[in-house]
Structures are given as structure tokens and as C-alpha cells.
Amino acid sequence: MTADLPQRLWRIRLDLAADLHDEPFYGKTGGLLAFACRGEAKEGTTYFYRVATLYHVHKGVPTTLAVTFVLPSDTMLAVLQRLLARTKKLGLQWDCLYLDKGFCSIPVIRYLQQHRYSAIIACPIRGKKGGTRALCTGRGSYITTHTFSSAEYGSCEATVAIVRTFNTSGRRRQRRKARWLVYVLINVNLRPDQVRQRYRSRFGVEMALRELRFSAIIDVIVVLSSTVLCQGVQGRWNVRCGKEVSPRT
């Protein structure tokens, strides 16, 4: 994998995007289920094999720099640290990190602040009246500070960009609907519109290309982990789908 990386990556400071990918898991065997993460119901299951990737996008084409399998016991901070450790081992330097909303947690924010990394993190809108939902008011976008609180991790203050945008419906008579986006900013000084534009450009990989790239990554992970996952299990297993397959005669 390293030998195929473009040499230009070592000549510049990179903008890196970290993303999470879920592959639906339908198995019921305890040995396989122990490696599946829980998530919101999707495609008929709440269990998924999860993979985290770190990549650089150049002219719309992503270059994967690090991949790690996510276990149910992993914290998002541990996952991010593994990705960054791989990047450091390659000798690459980065300018700004663009993180998926799955990484938006107090330990991750604190870690980035303490190490003075520059980062933009997509932030889920939570709460019915309070939380980040309370920030989504007004007629325009703005920058403010917000205190994130958790019973387990305490509180953490961070700068956030509250971006008001509109749907892009093709129907002329349909009234445009506003929607809100929230981003956590760490050592980043940008206007709200610049934050959204830069974040979209880093994650703006075409869906077909993104799915193809993820499919190849998950296949590699499955092959590498199948020996561990299926140890002691008789017969052949479809590890990706978690279904038993009768051995060929």
C-alpha cells in the first residue's frame, strides 16, 4: 500500500479526512457478533462491521493513508489515534483534519485542543430544546462557543460554526426549507460559509467512487481478519454477511 502512494504527499502539508464506514452484519454466532458494533437500524440490522479510514483528496480523487478495524470496545479517540499514528509512521505531515460526525466526542475534542491540531468536526444536532439544537436559531450563520457536557467525561468548551443552509429542490413553486449544520472548530479561523465549503470539498467524493473504495477496503479487512474471526468454527463462513455456508463437497 505504501509503495503505491504518490510522492507528492511527502512534499506538502496535507488536509486529511477521517471517515467511518459500516457494513451490515446479519450473523448470530457469538464469535462473530463480538466483533460487530451497534448502530442505528439500517438495512434490517443494528449490528455492523465498522472500519475507519484516513485519506487525502486531490482533485476529487481520494488516497487512503490509513485503515483500522473498529471493535465495539474501541473509543473514537483510540481509533483516531491509531489513524494518526499510521500517518506519522509514514512520515507525512498534515495541516488540518476533517472528521466525520462519529468522531465528535469530548475526549476527541480535548485531545485535538491539547495537541494544538487544526480540525473541523461535523457535529450532530442533539437535544429537543437544549444542546446544540438550541444554537440553531436566527436568520443567518454565525460563529460562537459551546460547552459540551457528559456525565462520563465532564464538560468541554469549543468554538462552533452554526451554518444555515437551504435545500436545493428543483421545483420552482416549492418553498425552500432551511436546515442547520454544526461544526466544531479547533484552531481554525474561518467564516461559517468557508467552513462548510472546505468540509464539503474534503468529503466531496462521488458516492459511487466512495462506495467502491469502501467495498475494496472492507474486503481486505475481512480477508485479514477472517482467520481470527472464524477460529475454531467448522465449515466455511461468509464473514462479510455473517451467514453460515455449507462446505463444498
Residues 194, 212, single domain; the answer is: no
Residues 142, 234, single domain; the answer is: no
CB atoms < 10 A from the CB of 53, how many? 20
Position 210 confidence tier, pLDDT thresholds 50, 70, 90: low
Inside any domain, residue 115: no
Residues 2, 95, single domain; the answer is: yes
Inside any domain, residue 113: no
Inside any domain, residue 114: no
Residues 176, 189, single domain; the answer is: yes
Residues 47, 137, single domain; the answer is: no
**Cell, residue 26:** 446479519
Phi-psi region of 91 (alpha: psi -120 to 50; beta: other; left: phi over 0): left
Inside any domain, residue 219: yes
pLDDT at site 231 = 44
Mind listing the pLDDT tens digit for each residue in 218-241? 555 555 445 444 444 333 334 444
**Cell, residue 18:** 477521517
State the virtual CA torsion across 166, 169, 173, 179 in degrees, nearest 10.
-20
The contacts of residue 188 (CB under 8 Å, 6+ apart) are: 96, 118, 119, 120, 159, 195
Residues 160, 229, single domain; the answer is: no
Inside any domain, residue 111: no
Query: Nearest-CA neighbor of 74 among 52, 44, 94?
Result: 52
pLDDT at site 248 = 40
Site of grid cell 459500516: 22
Inside any domain, residue 149: yes
Residues 132, 215, single domain; the answer is: no
Inside any domain, residue 110: no
Query: Nearest-CA neighbor of 146 among 165, 130, 159?
Result: 159
pTM summary value: 0.80
Going through 59-131 in order, the beta strands assigned E by DSSP cover 61-70, 94-99, 119-123
Residues 84, 7, single domain; the answer is: yes
Inside any domain, residue 109: no
Identify the domain containing residue 144 by its residue range: 120-202
Residues 162, 95, single domain; the answer is: no
Residues 8, 85, single domain; the answer is: yes
Does residue 17 contact residue 6 with C-beta atoms inside 8 Å?
no
Residues 184, 243, single domain; the answer is: no
Position 27 confidence tier, pLDDT thresholds 50, 70, 90: confident
Cα-atom radius of gyration of the chain, to the nearest Å?
20
Q: At CA 17, angle to CA 100 and CA 110, rounded to 5?
A: 60
Residues 190, 243, single domain; the answer is: no
Q: Name the domain count of the chain.
A: 2
pLDDT at site 220 = 53
Mind listing the pLDDT tens digit for each residue in 156-190? 999 999 999 987 655 565 677 788 999 999 999 99
